Structure 1
Amino acid sequence: MNCINLLSSVHQELHLNSINNKVLIILLHAFPLNSQMWKSQFKHLTQSGYSMLTLDYSGFGLSGVWGQTVTISDYSKLVFSSVQKLAVDSVVVVGLSMSGYIALDLYRSHPEIFSRLVLSNTKATADTEETKKRRYSQIDAIKENSSAHEIVHFHLDNFFLSETKTSNHKLIEFTEQMMREATIKGIINGLEAMAGRPDSLEILSTITFPVLIILGETDPFIP
């Protein structure tokens, strides 16, 4: 396992297994977290012999901030640029929440690289007007207060069941730490990217490889 910078100011963690280096599993992080959310899965899968890649988006985790505005396509281009630098035949992409939008955008642009896709707690539709209004309201609050405090608490309240908040303080603290490591600009870019993303429903019928879809029974964001 080694940490490398394949692209300037983008933190990525790469593990290439010489036995199974033709297929790469890419774990894309959710908003407003970073690649450390996958650390347990990364460790388990690398120990099982898989080649793995995680990365932090602009302004999240250990990655620097680039660009005044960022789109979902910008995030997916980052992922593709990383894949291009590696000698792999195909990828298995795992996307959760915002990274599900990124995974679908990557498929729209480069379907030829996919062998499998995992979509967890995400959706193919664009934001509703109500959701867009909420995101832009959150952006206004961040700019007004020069703080992402409201975003952190909003997501902590909605990420976990009440019993999890009571019984697993370590997980809650770890999640909050990842959120607080995000830069204000990174969070604003993420909110704007999600609000402006296109609808991806039309591309679903073109997928011919296996797809695993995971939903949470009580997920307030993805009913």
Structure 2
Amino acid sequence: MADLPLVLLHAYPVDARMWNAVREPLAARTRVITPDQRGLGRTPLPDPDREPSLDDAARDVLALLDKLELERVVLGGCSMGGYVTLAVLRAAPERVGGLVLVDTKATADTDEARANRLTAAERAETEGTAVWLAEAMLPILLSEETRSSRPGVVATVRELIESQPPGGVAWAQRAMAARPDSTEALREARVPTLVVVGEHDTVTPPEAAREMAETAPDGTLVVLPGAGHLTPLEAPEGVATAILDWLPGQAR
């Protein structure tokens, strides 16, 4: 709904600053809330001995909505933020008035992806995350076009990655590895759903985005040219325009 606040959850392994270039045009139209998720950015990691689960991250979001006295919001996220968005949808669909799924997917990890996440989590805990994490993630997160022609974006993403606490990085990887398939929750969602994806996203490619848009009962797909997996940083104007063009349709 057009009058509902918009909550946007960030990707891994960065924090809410990834939305900085998107916030201003969106805030001119609606209230925008961009929290750091547990263990990343400025948000501490509670219960470090508790088994990592995105269900706990979803409870964090619901607790934030309660604190802000928000009964219902348009909820969205990029990559891991999208996984958490779908976890909130599974837990409390009545709190979600619309979905914005950016460079994400509803399916669970493959066995290979899960193993890679657990390996990265162990490395973060034993070695820290300096240098190697950014070097490993930049080719995955950003399109070749962005990496070769936009050094400012590359530098921003590198700084965001390198500022994240190793414990939060490890927690996020283990929580994402354990996440269930959310396809059925998306299929049962009775709210408008916007799916945004970068043309060159290799992590959650346009085909996966198209499947989500088709699975949602009221889905809209926007593919942004030239961008990879972090469209809010690679194509912020495109992301903002996609959301703003879609928001008027939420007045139900």
Common topology (TM > 0.5):
yes
Change (3 A) 1:95 1:213: same
1:137 positional shift = 1.6
Which amino acid is the alignment partner of residue 37 of structure 1?
Answer: M
Structure 1 residue 98 corresponds to structure 2 residue 76: no
Q: Which one of the candidate residues 34, 45, 55 is aligned to 1:65?
A: 45
Contact 1:57-1:75 at 8 Å conserved across structures: yes
Q: Which residue of 1 aligns with 2:69?
A: 87
- Residues 94-133 of structure 1, C-alpha deviations (whole Å, 9 max, x = no match): 2111111100010111111111101111111111101011
Q: Aligned partners of 1:136 and 1:88: how far apart in 2?
A: 35
Which amino acid is the alignment partner of residue 161 of structure 2?
Answer: M
Q: Secondary structure at the match of 2:34?
A: strand
Give the structure with the larger helix fraction: 2
Contact 1:22-1:88 at 8 Å conserved across structures: no
Which amino acid is the alignment partner of residue 11 of structure 2?
Answer: A
Contact 2:54-2:87 at 8 Å conserved across structures: yes
Q: Aligned partners of 2:154 and 2:98: how far apart in 1?
A: 30
Which amino acid is the alignment partner of residue 175 of structure 1?
Answer: V
Give the CA RMSD over aligned residues.
Answer: 1.9
State how many pairs are aligned: 203
Q: Which residue of 1 aligns with 2:173?
A: 191
Contact 2:38-2:168 at 8 Å conserved across structures: yes
Q: Which one of the candidate residues 101, 112, 116 is aligned to 1:134?
A: 116
Structure 1 residue 166 corresponds to structure 2 residue 125: no
Structure 1 residue 55 corresponds to structure 2 residue 25: no
**Which 10-residue stretch deviates more, 37-46 or 26-35?**
37-46
- Residues 2-55 of structure 1, C-alpha deviations (whole Å, 9 max, x = no match): xxxxxxxxxxxxxxxxxx996210010000010000012222222x14112111
Q: Which residue of 2 aligns with 1:3?
A: none
1:162 positional shift = 2.1
Q: Aligned partners of 1:30 and 1:24: how far apart in 2?
A: 20
Q: Which residue of 1 aligns with 2:20?
A: 39
Q: Aligned partners of 2:130 and 2:91: how far apart in 1?
A: 32
Q: Aligned partners of 2:17 and 2:129: how far apart in 1?
A: 22
Structure 1: gaps of 5 or more residues: 1-19
1:199 positional shift = 1.2
- Displaced runs of 4 or more, over 6 A: none
Q: TM-score, normalised by structure 1?
A: 0.85
Task: Work out the percentage of aligned pairs sharing the same amino acid.
Answer: 30
Q: Secondary structure at the match of 1:37?
A: helix
